[in-house]
Amino acid sequence: MIRVYRIVREPYSRTPLDGEGPYRFGGRWSSPGTRIAYTAEHLSLAMIEYFVHIEASDPPKDLVVVAADIPDHVSRVVLTPEKLHPNWRQEPAPPGLAAIGDSFAAEGESAILVLPSALVPSESNWLINPLHPEFPEIQVHPVEPFHYDARFFA
């Protein structure tokens, strides 16, 4: 079993893995209209992944940590950096990367897509397909308040 993490604002914590944010706005690995929940294999990676997307002058004060346990038998596809185009870490993200998550979700063959983090390539983000039949096997824990160190935004 692996525990994955996600940092969200408290109002969005009631359904933290529904993929609503990426569905509305897209992300590195998915286009708008694709429902995928982005999580990280470590809480510290979840923090970094969240913090690069916020305004340093106005960090949110209502963050929570969502932790979820994914049983080992839940289906997954793992893509390593060697399997990706050499520009996969580029910012802004190359458009072709979104097609990877879009295809993963549309095909529905696996519940999880494990990909390297563009920020920390030796660590992984775990994208969860909330529409996959195995999704109910993922246990979401009660959210906990998240208090960050103000030095992150100094």
pLDDT in tens, 95-144: 889 999 999 999 999 999 999 999 999 999 999 999 999 999 999 999 99
- Its pTM surpasses 0.85: yes
- Give the range of the structural domain holding residue 66, as residue numbers without chain letter: 2-153
Which residues on neighbouring strands pair with residue 118, listed in sequence order? none
pLDDT score for 59: 77
Domain count along the chain: 1
Q: How many CB atoms lie within 10 A of CB 121?
A: 14
Q: How many CB atoms lie within 10 A of CB 25?
A: 10
pLDDT score for 147: 84
The per-residue pLDDT for range 58-80, each reduced to its tens digit, is: 778 899 999 999 999 999 999 99
CA dist., res. 124 & res. 111, Å (int): 16
Q: CATH no. for residue 8? A: 3.90.175
Which residues on neighbouring strands pair with residue 9, listed in sequence order? 63
